[in-house]
Amino acid sequence: MLLQKIRLEFICFSKAQTIRKLIKKKAIGTYLKQIMPKISEKEKVFNILEKEVNVISAVNNAKLAPYLDIFEHYPENILLQPLGILTGFFRINDFSEESAYIVNFLSSLLKKEYYANPKRSIDNSFDSALRKVNLALSEIAKEGNINWLGRIEGAVCVLEKNNLHFSVCGNSKILLIRNQIITEVSKDLSSEEKEPNPLKTFANVSSGRLDNGDKIIVCSEDIFDIFSLNEIKKGSVRFQKEKFVQFVKTALTNKLEIIGTIIIDLFEKNEEKSAAQKKNIETLNVFSEKTFEKNTPKINNLKEILKKEDKNEYTDEKTGHIYIQEEKNGEMEKGNSYAGYWIVAKEKLFDFYCWFKNKSRKELLSIGKSITKARKEITAKIKKRQEEKRIEKAELEKKQAEITENNPATSEISTQKETFFKLIGQEPERKKEAEKNIRFARFIPGIGKIKTIFSSLSGKQKLYTIAVIAIIFIFPLVFIKIQNSIKNKSVSEQIQEKVPDEREVLSKEKNITFLKLLTSITKLEDARNATVLNEKLLIATPDKIISWARNEEVKDYLLPENSGKILAMTAMEDLNLVLILTDQKKIISWSPASPVFKDNQIEFPENSDIKSMAAYMTYLYVADKNSGKIYRYPRAEGGFGIRTEWSKENINLSDGTSMAIDENIYLNDGEQVIKLFKGNVQPFMIEQPAKNFNVDKIITGNKMGSIYLADKAQGRIFEYSKDGSLIRQYYHEDIKGSVDFAIDESNQSVYIILHDGSISFFTFN
């Protein structure tokens, strides 16, 4: 599908309707040549305007949150800066389970495609991103999920330099307010097809030049249930930037159940136009002042008009906030005072939020940096003081030694003192030893008595006596000496044959990092599986799921009765779901947005033995050990549709097989990784490290830039590029014997279930 582009930058707005009609007749080229002046004839001098994007998301029912996504994406590096800011919203008015989270999928897909190639022009990037969204919606419809057709609304805008590029679908609107004049610039841009066609969801693109003081409002048609165009214009004139956003947000939140609105303000840094900007360039522009002046009377005195309208306003004397009241039968109705106070309270909270967002966060960061700096300085001072004390002590000992050598009298006195105090301290001990000797002497005869007995013996008796004494005293000593020599010999041999330290061996590895510390999150009994879903860590035991995210507490959710025990789980990020496989061959879905377990209809082959599974977009892939096949299941109402044999050839699947998927499927097979594309095995080799390893777990994804492998026995985790090159590897003794791993690239974190049930993590950097 080719997106039709309507370039209105130098075209009079009165002729814009004619252009849109000529697009269908394919006569637009000739017409544009007649009315478009050459840009080179009039050089434009301008400064790049500042842009302030304010996103308003009013969702009063939490169950409707999966059907609205408002996005505001900025370039992530210098190369992407020329592509500008990407903002807009997607909304689906079908609130069935099948339509949930489609908007989140479209938003992430749009951002990825738009910023994919910094070398492309803005027009090409914008067209490619919208085309990708249309194709994705077409794929979803092919799967049988069509409830959303004709019920999707969306608006996508690109702000680059002083230009606006935009496209809309459904009943979405883009309003331009310039010089107190409001105009719908997106009129007739939506597809006019009677039958909804996913490939024509975003059919037309328009663009134009922006001026200082312009205000863009991106919204759905629901906003007109509260405001008319005239009321929006009055509000923009009456209130300053943040107050106008606050005024609109308060009204939308109080009146509507779900709506998304974006307000964009354009202004100069110093709010003063340079001399070059003050020169008016005679060009016809749908966004220009003259376009609006043709059909609109000039406003001479805005203050007088506002004074006349002051009668329809209510000003709170305490806060000074202005509230617009409706007229009934020509007279003002005084609003409920309690409702007024409630609005004031909401505005106060919003003021606090704005202040905290813009100022407090910076102050907290600076305080944190100051504390870190102070801590480093204190640590350095303590270390310095300890070193000084050590040096002083060494110098003092050296001086004492010199004094002792030069003055013998001092040495004798100190020796006598030491002997005296030692004798005093040893006196009680000597008494105790004397008492023991007296007790022992009672049992041993005197030496004289022994001599008398030995002399009275005959010659043979004397020989026997000597032999017995030798056996009793000498032989044990000889035996002990022999044993010690044997022991010393074995110890020396062990020292010679000692195996090198593990770190010493691995230090020769390419790009290896020896981790100093693993940060502990919690400890669980019988934790088996780990995965990450949209920056949330999920851990599965046989009967429950544990959820944890940064700055949140650990929460657990018990599996319903008769569900079986959890064998495996995988994340379906596009629908914000976790799919759980139990030993009863059930697939149960669970979402952090609405933490309720739901049975999913699915039909596995007879006598199948499912060892692993993975999700890609809205498809579920399962590996069957018995058949050696990989099956694909499309998402359908109430679960999953009819399976198809995705793999074209049999694969040797074992109990330890791990599967990961992006556009390809990866399987681990001992020391190798098998890569499949469209069901066929592809040639794929990973760079081998110096020390051989086993692949126990493989992790990657469509939104991940690398492939991660884990060797549980060696305690190593490897990061590979998707062409098989080794990027880096990590080692820690505690990783040995681990149960499972999970990767969160957005937070640069690796989560590990250790052998003792501890849940820990470390960061790449």
- Give residue-wise pLDDT tens across range 401-446: 766 666 555 445 455 545 544 444 555 555 555 555 545 444 445 5
Asked if 264 and 218 count as a contact pair (C-beta separation under 8 A), the reply is yes
> Whole-angstrom Cα distance, residue 265 to residue 253?
21
348 confidence band (pLDDT: 50, 70, 90): low
Asked if 580 and 590 count as a contact pair (C-beta separation under 8 A), the reply is yes
**What is the number of residues in the chain?**
765
Asked if 748 and 708 count as a contact pair (C-beta separation under 8 A), the reply is no
Give me 211's structure tokens: 């001026």
Task: For 59-86, write each residue's pLDDT tens digit.
Answer: 888 888 889 999 999 998 888 999 999 9
Lowest mean pLDDT, pick from 194-198, 539-543, 559-563: 194-198
> Whole-angstrom Cα distance, residue 334 to residue 68?
35
Task: For 306-321, write each residue's pLDDT tens digit.
Answer: 445 444 555 444 444 4
pLDDT at 539 over 90: yes
Give me 80's structure tokens: 């992407």
- Would you call 130 helix, strand, or coil by DSSP? helix
Amino acid at 723: D
Rounded to the nearest angstrom, the gap between the alpha carbon of residue 757 and the centroid of all alpha carbons in its chain is 24
> Whole-angstrom Cα distance, residue 124 to residue 273?
32
Task: For 457-487, write each residue's pLDDT tens digit.
Answer: 677 667 767 777 766 767 676 767 777 777 6
Asked if 708 and 687 count as a contact pair (C-beta separation under 8 A), the reply is no
Neighbouring C-beta atoms of residue 191, cutoff 10 Å: 16
Q: What is the per-residue pLDDT for 141?
A: 87
39 confidence band (pLDDT: 50, 70, 90): very low
Question: If you write DSSP's letter for every residue of 229-294 in order, what string do you get?
Answer: HHHHHHHHHHS-HHHHHHHHHHHHHHH-SEEEEEEEEEE-SSS---HHHHSPP----TTSHHHHHH
Task: For 363-374, write each residue's pLDDT tens digit.
Answer: 666 666 777 777
Give me 296's structure tokens: 């609109």
Q: At what angle do helices 241-255 and 229-238 cross, to 10 degrees?
A: 140
Q: What is the per-residue pLDDT for 663?
A: 85
> Whole-angstrom Cα distance, residue 108 to residue 114?
10
> Whole-angstrom Cα distance, residue 597 to residue 578?
10
Q: What average pLDDT is seen over the chain?
A: 77
Q: Could you tell me what percent of the chain has a pLDDT over 70?
A: 69
Task: For 740-751, write each residue's pLDDT tens digit.
Answer: 999 998 888 999
> Whole-angstrom Cα distance, residue 101 to residue 198?
17
Q: What is the pTM of this model?
A: 0.42
**CA atoms within a 13 Å half-sphere pointing along the CA-CB vector of 754:** 17
**Average pLDDT value for residue range 324-353:** 54
> Whole-angstrom Cα distance, residue 149 to residue 196?
6
34 confidence band (pLDDT: 50, 70, 90): low
pLDDT at 738 over 50: yes
Q: What do you get for the CA distance between the two ends of the chain, in Å?
A: 44
